[in-house]
Structure 1
Amino acid sequence: MTEATKTIRQPAEGLIPFDNSYARLPQQFFARADPTPVSEPWLMKFNRPLAEELGLDVDALEREGAAIFSGNRVPQGAEPLGMAYAGHQFGQFVPLLGDGRAILLGEVIDRNGKRRDIQLKGAGRTPYSRRGDGRAALGPVLREYIVSEAMHGLGIPATRALAAVLTGDPVYREKVLPGAVFTRVAASHIRVGTFQFLAARGDSDGLRTLADYVIDRHYPDAKDDERPYLALLQAVIERQAALIARWLCVGFIHGVMNTDNCAVSGETIDFGPCAFLDAYDPAKVFSSIDQGGRYAYASQPAIGQWNMTRLAETLLPLIDPDPSEAVSLANDAIAGYGPKFQQHWLSGMTAKIGLAGQEDGDLDLVQGLLALMRDQQADFTLTFRRLSDLAGDDAAEEAFMASFRDPEAILPWLVEWQARLSRETMTAVDRSEAMRRVNPAFIPRNHRIEQAIRAAEDEADLSLFEALLTVLSKPYEDQPGFAAYAEPPAPSEEVLRTFCGT
């Protein structure tokens, strides 16, 4: 067996200072799985700033990263494994899913004292792969790299991209594609589906162990609560409500909000068929596998609550020994999701239209603008960015009105908006600057992502990929050299469907 066909244990110390905790949990939580080596790994992208934040040996990883981030060499201290989980996929429960093409190398404590997972995605088969090959194609790897880093730039909790490696091996999907491996960093990869996996097996001891682990890792304040497992549920609900509100405020559509894609840490995870709105349409669906529109843009808040209800079901035996009392307490927690989401969403949306405080009627003002944007097919991102300009300069009114097919239609709303602004004390300049901090100029436009993928797949050209990463690292800043990246697609460039890539 040659080095290209077997996994090598890396003898060098210190490249990645692992401090693994998940691997010490009971065996039913995971299955040991070494990565499957590839033939010609090439490190096409390495996130040096993130590596420094994680406390890694950056210079050594730049030299040896192709072997390590492809899975050809497993660094000392790593304990590779595939995590077990279940999940509701489009509403249908599957009792065993697990990491079919992802391998958790281990964990590190970053320079801020936070525990972070390092995972290889597309590194070969695991015991959970079923009939899959455990591999990833180049396109989905580039998409996840771009969108995860874009979400970070937008200030939205999300998994991060550490590296992308081209494998030199083909991947067979509808056609033959270049293979790649993505290295993902997360607060953890524990999902609602992880709890469901144990609950479906009646593993009460395992559920308690997992809940205690999540409390220790993510929600330590819950430990001192009179009802720690209820406090855990309430804390996860709060983070999910806040997260999904932030998605909506930037026009993000996850595309596949199954419970196995819902991280209990409150991070956005799994950027498969995700997309960002161009023209505002609350019913918009991009995902090719979401044929019923279950995960449409405006449906995401309700699905978040649905997912939290599934989590609550798994925690009932821990919340209270009396089943009726446990159900009552859990129902109260779930009922709190809606008000929490509404509070986060309205706060975000009023900030987007320049309001520092809130008054009765502000919801109507926001909804009035959104209704006009829907009817006039106004671009979501550009409309709010141009409104930010208008808040500080009356001369920007023409550009703002040009966002609408019938510019005259927006005039009555503008009168209401300006009257509302007159009741606040913020200066026009300060208001405009505040709005520009929450209304990005740049998002990862779907057509730009597709252009970057096509160039990489067809021409081995990563320049568009690099340009996207550059502009998306500072989405709230005007970048004259990248002005074209702020524009919506031409009709011929519009992306109608996005794909999972598995």
Structure 2
Amino acid sequence: MDQVNIEAPRQADLAAGFVQSSYAELPDRFYQRADLSPVRAPKLIRLNRQLAEDLNLDIGFLESEGGIAVLAGNASVKNVQPLALAYAGHQFGNFVPQLGDGRALLIGEAIDRGGKRRDIQLKGSGRTRFSRGGDGRAALGPVLREYVVSEAMAALGIPTTRALAAVSTGEMVFREGAVPGAIFTRVAASHLRIGTFQYFAARGDHEALKALADYAIERHYSEAAAAETPYLALLENVVAAQARLVARWMLVGFIHGVMNTDNMSISGETIDYGPCAFMDSYHPGTVFSSIDAGGRYAYANQPRIAVWNLARLAEAMLPLLAASEDEAVALAEAVLKKFQATYDGVFHKGLRRKLGLSAEHPEDLPLAAGLLEVMSANEADFTLVFRGLGDDFAAVPGEGGTRKLFKRPEEFDGWAVRWKERLAREPEFDVGRQEMMRSVNPKYIPRNHRVEEVIRAAVDRSDFSPFEELLSVLARPFDEQPAHSAYVDPPKPEERVLETFCGT
């Protein structure tokens, strides 16, 4: 490789709306105060201007040479210390006592328009002491995937980390071969994970565990501070937040792909978009992750895995819950049992709305299960079937476009007769029903083959116009967009992407 002169890290002259991370006020063992690792020739691929505005950040600065330097890790914001956070985690069921930010740096926080603190983090910014032999960098493809999917999730109304910016580095990184490098700027309610609690629990560091729990309460669940048992209230809040989140994943056919405890956020946001994907044809056992050979994180397993992860959080928090371990275990188990009721409440209500139902009847859940069974047997597209129901609810059984999505349309017809009978018992049969169904059944999702097309155009041809167009379409997932009707289509057999990969 030719020798190049990379300018030493510097400090940006303008704060641009960044503030010092409140996490830096915790003891040093919570993080590493990290040095920046400058890159050769940073270039801004995209700045999320609307998000920057919501965060009260200086857009003009971020788009300037100095701002791009900050987003590339070539400059720090004045008076803000970059941090690599420490955490542990269960990865595919195996506990790793030290993970941490091996390729990420917290470069500060911002106070958004609602007065809430939001973390600003670089991914792919270079090695830290947590890198475990990795290069600390990110490839362009995974950066674009995370940008697209996280913003699509936000548009769908699902709690998620956000994409503030993507920057190319002008350098190559080596995976299977040499590929262009990039850095992703992620915004999160915080980067506290189940694995953060596990890190200190594994070390028997109860002082740090308490400090972490106090910080989590102050940052995310301030009402828990007034509870009779604040740490138990914290656990209850996290369990409820995760139950609501996973239910919403399931309602849109989203598969996280790597639900390790270090990838589960205390705040209840979706975090760490690696081998994630949205289902095309419905099947409960769908897996996309190239490293999930056993299907641990398959679509249908996600609620169960969420409970398993939360049980690991409860284990880590036991010293905070009661003086007696037996009492602490009993309290934790009672909280974990609440997951199912919260999950069912969100998921079942969502299913009813997807079917155009507002009232509750005992046959509703068997009716929904019957549709899913027919969809699975006929390899019908998850997104298009539910979207089509909103157009076909007034159609005569045996007619309408939805039935064409099934290999054996007559099997759908049999289900549709039961559905129409149920709709007829609604208080109002059709007033506003299509609008309601369209508001919960997206037409546009980040289909895997479309995301791969975006990545290939960028990596192979340095063409980011497909990336921009896809983002524009996904920003309005529930709207009719006739000019972009091609983005509705599921992949042809030769276009199917059956495996996705972690960014590392």
**TM-score interval, smaller chain:** over 0.9
CA deviation after TM superposition for structure 1 residue 463, in Å:
1.1
Give the conservation status (yes or no) of the 8 Å contact 2:398–2:410.
Answer: no
Match of 1:286 in 2: 288
Q: SS state of the match for residue 428, structure 1?
A: coil
Task: Work out the CA distance in 1 between the residues paired with 2:109 and 2:26.
Answer: 13
Which residue number corresponds to residue 459 of structure 1? 461
Whether 1:56 and 2:37 are equivalent positions in the alignment is: no
Summarize the alignment of residues 485-496 of structure 1 with structure 2, pairs less than 5 Å apart.
Answer: 485-496=487-498
Name the SS for the 2:432 alignment partner: helix
Residues 146-170 of structure 1: CA distance to partner in whole angstroms, max 9, x if unpaired?
Answer: 0000000000000000000000000
2-side partners of 1:301 and 1:362: how far apart? 21
In the alignment, the residues of structure 2 paired with residue 220 and residue 376 of structure 1 have an alpha-carbon distance, to the nearest angstrom, of: 48
Which deviates more, 90-99 or 393-402? Answer: 393-402
Q: Write the letter of the residue equivalent to 1:178.
A: P
How many Å apart are 1:3 and its aligned residue? 7.1
Provide the aligned C-alpha RMSD in A.
Answer: 1.4
Amino acid aligned to 1:112: G
Which of 157, 160, 169 is residue 158 of structure 1 equivalent to?
A: 160
1:369 and 2:371 are equivalent in the alignment = yes
Cα shift readout 1:156-204 (whole Å, capped 9, x = no counterpart)? 0000000000000000111100000000000000000000000000000
Q: CA deviation at 1:313?
A: 0.4
After TM superposition, the runs of 4+ consecutive aligned structure 1 residues lying more than 6 A away are none
Report the equivalent of 2:271.
269
> Conserved in 2, the CA contact under 8 Å of 1:16 and 1:75?
no
Tell me the equivalent position of 2:500. Answer: 498
Of all paired residues, the percent bearing the same amino acid is: 56
- 1:78 corresponds to: 80
* Alpha-carbon distance between aligned partners in 1 of 2:15 and 2:305, rounded to the nearest angstrom: 43
Offset of residue 8 of structure 1: 1.0
Cross-structure match for 1:351: 353
1:415 lines up with 2:417 in the alignment: yes
Structure 2: tracts of 5 or more residues without a match: none
The answer on whether the counterparts of 2:397 and 2:417 sit within 8 Å (CA) in structure 1 is: no
Equivalent position of 1:32 in the other structure: 33
- Partner SS for 2:40: coil
Residue aligned with 2:405, SS: coil
Q: Deviations over 1:77-128 (max 9, x none)?
A: 3220100000000000000000000000011111111110000000001110
**Could you tell me the TM-score, scaled by structure 1's length?**
0.98
Determine the structure 2 residue equivalent to 1:307: 309
The Cα of 1:398 is off from its aligned counterpart by: 2.6
Q: Tell me which residue corresponds to 1:108.
A: 110
8 Å contact from structure 2 (residues 18, 77) kept in 1 = no
The CA deviation at 1:391 is 2.3
Contact map agreement 2:32 2:85 (CA 8 A) in 1:
yes
Between the aligned partners of 1:111 and 1:50, the Cα distance in structure 2 is 10
Gaps of 5+ in 1: none
In structure 2, the residue matched to 1:203 is: 205
**Number of residue equivalences:** 501
1:30-86, CA deviations, whole angstroms, 9 ceiling, x for partnerless residues? 001122100110001000000000000111211233211101111113220100000
- 8 Å contact 1:87–1:94 — kept in the other structure? yes
Distance 2:117 2:192 in 1: 13
1:221-252 deviation digits (Å, cap 9, x = unpaired): 11111111111111100010000000010000
- Specify the SS of the correspondent of 1:343: helix
* TM alignment of 1:14-25, pairs within 5 A: 14-25=15-26
More divergent stretch after superposition (394-403 vs 486-495): 394-403
* 1:259 partnered with 2:243: no
Does the Cα contact within 8 Å between 2:192 and 2:267 map onto a contact in 1? Answer: yes
Q: Residues 379-418 of structure 1, C-alpha deviation per residue, up to 9 Å, x if partnerless?
A: 0000000001112555994311001111111112111111
Contact 1:253 1:296 in 2 (8 A): yes
Q: Decide whether the 8 Å contact of 1:31 with 1:84 is kept in 2.
A: yes
1:341 is matched with which residue? 343
Which residue in the other structure is 1:47 paired with?
48
